Structure 1
Amino acid sequence: MDERKRQRLSSRDKVLLAAMELFGEGPGSTLSVRAVASRAGVSTGSLRYHFPTQRELQDEVLTRIYDLVAPDDRIHDGSAPARDRLVDCLRQVLAGAGVGSQARVATLTMVEQFIAPEPTEELRTAYLAIEREMRRRVEYWLTVLANEGALPEGDNTRRARFLLTVLNGLGMERALPAEDSILQHENDTLYAAVDHVLTPERPASAREPA
């Protein structure tokens, strides 16, 4: 952003812009108060005034980022089948991971940030904020389809967790060597997962072995 335009921003918007820039440079970033305040050119007190906790800052940043990389417009496109719309939305989330070397860098960053270190409360809070925002986004898509009558009654939180587990696995596969076409396999897997979600759930008694 042009420096003159940046200076005209409110202190809150300067903080958000700085946090989004830092997050973009390292997706696993925990967005420390000092680093964000320094990048924004504001005091830590000013940052805390707008975002009393690190969690509030992280939630706001993630909400804005997902509004950009995974917009809701596609899920509302009634001219397309529900399964295609949901797959497209999930595919947009995966797009942020890249493919090949870019995916490896993203995966290593997540490992270094959230798996290799001891699971401190700060790390746990940062990771859960990311997971919660992703789940919220997927649940929203499912709610839109349910309101249209395109999704049978069921537990959307459980469905969202299932779809996120699929996305996590596909994201990891993007970073690993592959013999076949990664994108073709990914497409087939996404449609299989979405078809499972869109299929009416059987009663628990019907799922139990005789």
Structure 2
Amino acid sequence: MTVRAGGELGSRDKVLLAAMTMFGENPAARLSVRAVASRAGVSMGSLRYHFPTQRELQDEVLTRIYDLVIKDDQIHDTSVPARDRLVGRLRQVLAPAGVGAQAREATRKVFEDFLLPESTEEQRAAYLAVGREAQRRVEYWLTVLVSEGALAAGDNTKRARFLITLVNGLGLERALPAEDSILQSETDTLYLAVDSLLGSGSD
């Protein structure tokens, strides 16, 4: 973030800080530009100058949040086997969902915000923004593994969709009753999926 002389944030950074705070308070929140502008203490015109569309604001906020929460430098650590690095990154995606009561609350929130009501354009945009960022992030990890030769060249878009679908299912499982250790079965499933991409026993 850029700090002006006198320690004051610029209007763009005020908007981003307000939007990130609102997202942190409620990850399913719909970042309405009016609410963000009000929280940031800037005019709608100022917000629109920096972020002409709601999608641009949402994408920037999600990119910054993922950059803070999910550290991509670990995907480059070739001292760790590729399969372990990729499973570790996928675990980071799952981490915010929590387990048990926390996972149930997160699932309930998603259901109430995106499935229960008739979907509005704003809700759809918010949901798609999260999906685009997840897709971008997983494709990037796969591209890194292709570039180092740990993963054969191929359609990383389809591969990323496969892994995201798997992670979404595991996130739902975290909210449901389980007979065995959910974290152990989750680990087994993640490694099975990653090995299917890398080739069984790949580094």
Q: Are 2:158 and 1:163 aligned?
A: no
Task: Give the aligned partner of residue 177 of structure 2.
Answer: 177
In the alignment of these two chains, the number of paired residues is: 196
Residue type of the alignment partner of 1:48: R
Indicate the percent of aligned positions where both proteins have the same amino acid. Answer: 74
Task: Give the aligned partner of residue 52 of structure 2.
Answer: 52
Cα distance in 1, alignment partners of residues 151 and 119 from structure 2: 37
Spell out the pairing of 1:81-100 with structure 2 (5 A cutoff): 81-100=81-100
Spell out the pairing of 1:13-162 with structure 2 (5 A cutoff): 13-162=13-162
Cα distance in 2, alignment partners of residues 167 and 78 from structure 1: 24
- 1:58-87 Cα offsets, whole Å, 9 max, x none, are 000000011111110110001010000000
Instruction: Give 1:158 shift.
Output: 0.4
What is the TM-score with the length of structure 2 in the denominator? 0.92
Residue type of the alignment partner of 1:180: D
Instruction: Give 1:37 shift.
Output: 1.1
Cα distance in 1, alignment partners of residues 41 and 177 from structure 2: 42
Instruction: Give 1:119 shift.
Output: 2.0
Contact 1:69 1:96 in 2 (8 A): no
Cα distance in 2, alignment partners of residues 197 and 123 from structure 1: 33
Instruction: Give 1:180 shift.
Output: 1.0
Contact 1:63 1:133 in 2 (8 A): yes
Cα distance in 2, alignment partners of residues 42 and 58 from structure 1: 17
Unaligned runs of 5+ in 1: 1-6, 201-210
Instruction: Give 1:115 shift.
Output: 0.9
Unaligned runs of 5+ in 2: 1-6
Instruction: Give 1:120 shift.
Output: 2.1
Cα distance in 1, alignment partners of residues 48 and 18 from structure 2: 14
Residue type of the alignment partner of 1:117: P
Secondary structure in structure 1 of the residue aligned to 2:78: coil
Secondary structure in structure 2 of the residue aligned to 1:28: coil
Hey, which bits of structure 1, 4+ residues long, moved more than 4 A?
none
Task: Give the aligned partner of residue 206 of structure 1.
Answer: none
- 1:64-123 Cα offsets, whole Å, 9 max, x none, are 011111110110001010000000000011001111111111111111111111122222
Residue type of the alignment partner of 2:12: R
Secondary structure in structure 2 of the residue aligned to 1:42: coil
Instruction: Give 1:176 shift.
Output: 1.1
Instruction: Give 1:199 shift.
Output: 2.4
